[in-house]
């Protein structure tokens, strides 16, 4: 029996973040599969993806300055997705956090969506993107006016997917809430070979964030908490909130900007602990830190509940979680950092590495492969 013909899909290709790391693994699983996407900024993703035949929507023909502000194109995305025609295949495999899950599979094909989250801009994170102080008044007014229609479209087009597979228990719950559908669970992979664990705790004395400057990441919470504590915090990243955050740096908090994979790996090895004050759908960076033997201080919601063993658990801890039932803001993070410092000897680099190894690429490929086989074996209907 010949292997199934597979087509891959991803919302947009503009940089290497968690979703693109997943797509890279899918490219290795299906070496002949083309990639359908709304737009592609060439040279921004890994060679494994760049080598693919990439099919883009008409958004690709917009002037470069408009493409660069792709989140502002959200009202156009339903129309752009609707004009993409997927070539004949057996399986459409989409990786979606926005609109690409709404692609229509070709006749006779099955559609499995590996869902990073339902569209956060119109569901659980709309205030973070379009609330007061987050967007210009005119933009906010347009967004709020358009959100009901986008929600209706997003929910209705969930019917184009035969099987959802979520990246975390939190995302599976969001799939049920937004779309009324169940979802399987396969955790994303961490590329363990990129990270070498440090054998000793408190390696470099500084704390570390590696993050996009998006509203829901709550970088400002970390900056103010560490400023008050007077402890050194290094921040790698950039993005849409950079202009707002730039004045907050200085003193004990340092912005390093964008860094190469090799530089980031070295920063992980050298940090005292990794810090994540925002709720993540899954969160690869805490696993990258643990793969480097470093513990995590994180808001105790979302994906970290699947990936971090909290201080006080029955097994060896790999981090401190905070804010589940109390302060999830500046004071809550500051208290969590102080709790970490007081119990720092309880965190073993080897235990952190072993926790990360549970999320290997092999485990991801095996889990997703089983979901695909189950869907293709089903004679009809949804799973």
**235-268 pLDDT per residue, tens:** 999 887 888 898 899 999 999 999 998 999 999 9
Q: Are 118 and 127 within 8 A, CB to CB?
A: no
The pLDDT score that the predictor gives to residue 144 is 58
**Residue 16: what pLDDT?**
87
Query: Which stretch of 55-64, 87-96, 270-279 has the lowest confidence by average pLDDT?
Result: 55-64
**pLDDT given at position 127:** 56
Q: How many residues does the chain have?
A: 383
**What is the secondary structure of 194-232 as a DSSP string?**
G----SSSS-SS-EEEE----GGG-HHHHHHHHHHHT--
For the stretch 171-210, pLDDT in tens is 999 999 999 999 999 999 988 989 988 776 556 689 999 9
Asked if residue 46 has pLDDT above 80, the reply is yes
Domains and CATH numbers, the chain: 6-189+360-377 (3.40.50), 192-357 (3.40.50.2000)
Residue 381 has pLDDT above 80, yes or no: no
pLDDT single digits (tens) 140-156: 555 656 688 888 999 99
**Band of residue 324 on the pLDDT scale cut at 50, 70, 90:** confident
How large is the average pLDDT for residues 1-27? Answer: 91
For residue 321, what are the CA distances in angstroms to 44, 55, 204?
Answer: 33, 42, 22
**Residue 41 banded pLDDT, cuts 50, 70, 90:** very high
378 vs 169, which has greater pLDDT?
169
For residue 294, pLDDT over 80 is answered with yes
- pLDDT for 235 equals 96
Q: 274-307 as b/e, with b when 16 or more CB fall inside 10 Å?
A: bbbbbbbbbbbbbbbbbbbbbbbbbbbbbbbebb
- Is pLDDT at 215 greater than 90 in this prediction? no
Q: How confident is the model at residue 131 (pLDDT cuts 50, 70, 90)?
A: low
302 or 69, greater pLDDT: 302
* Cα–Cα dist 73/196, whole Å: 40
Contact 95, 9 (CB under 8 A): yes
Mean pLDDT of 39-53: 94
pTM given for the model: 0.81
Q: What is the pLDDT of residue 107?
A: 95
pLDDT at 66 exceeding the cut of 90: no
> Is the CA virtual torsion 19, 197, 256, 328 positive or negative?
positive
| Degrees to nearest 5, angle at CA 294 with 293 and 299 | 140
């Amino acid at each position: 029996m010949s292997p199934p013909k597979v087509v891959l899909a991803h919302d947009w290709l503009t940089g290497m973040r968690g979703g693109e790391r997943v797509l890279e693994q899918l490219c290795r699983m299906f070496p002949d599969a083309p990639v359908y996407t709304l737009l592609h900024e060439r040279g921004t993703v890994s060679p494994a993806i760049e080598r693919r035949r990439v099919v883009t929507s008409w958004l690709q023909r917009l002037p470069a300055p408009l493409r660069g502000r792709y989140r502002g194109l959200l009202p156009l995305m339903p129309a752009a997705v609707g004009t993409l025609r997927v070539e004949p295949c057996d399986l459409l495999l989409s990786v979606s956090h926005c609109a690409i899950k709404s692609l229509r599979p070709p006749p006779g094909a099955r559609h499995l969506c590996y869902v990073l989250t339902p569209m956060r801009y119109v569901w659980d994170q709309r205030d973070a993107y379009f609330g007061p102080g987050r967007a210009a008044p005119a933009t906010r007014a347009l967004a709020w006016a358009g959100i009901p229609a986008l929600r209706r479209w997003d929910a209705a087009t969930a019917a184009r997917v035969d099987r959802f597979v979520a990246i975390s228990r939190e995302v599976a719950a969001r799939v049920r809430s937004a779309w009324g559908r169940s979802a399987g669970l396969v955790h994303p992979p961490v590329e363990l070979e990129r990270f070498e664990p440090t054998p000793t705790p408190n390696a470099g004395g500084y704390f570390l964030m590696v993050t996009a400057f998006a509203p829901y990441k709550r970088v400002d919470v970390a900056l103010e908490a560490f400023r008050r504590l007077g402890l050194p915090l290094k921040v790698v990243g950039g993005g849409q909130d950079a202009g707002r955050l730039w004045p907050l740096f200085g003193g004990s908090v340092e912005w390093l900007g964008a860094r190469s994979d090799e530089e980031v790996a070295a920063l992980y090895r050298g940090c005292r602990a990794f810090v994540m004050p925002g709720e993540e759908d899954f969160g690869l960076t805490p696993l990258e830190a643990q793969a480097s033997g470093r513990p995590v201080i994180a808001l105790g919601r979302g994906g970290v509940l699947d990936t971090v063993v909290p201080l006080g658990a029955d097994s060896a801890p790999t981090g401190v979680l905070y804010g589940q039932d109390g302060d999830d803001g500046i004071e809550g993070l500051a208290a969590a950092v102080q709790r970490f410092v007081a119990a720092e000897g309880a965190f073993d680099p080897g235990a952190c590495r072993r926790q990360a190894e549970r999320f290997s690429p092999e485990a991801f490929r095996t889990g997703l492969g089983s979901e695909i086989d189950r869907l293709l074996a089903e004679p009809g209907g949804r799973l």
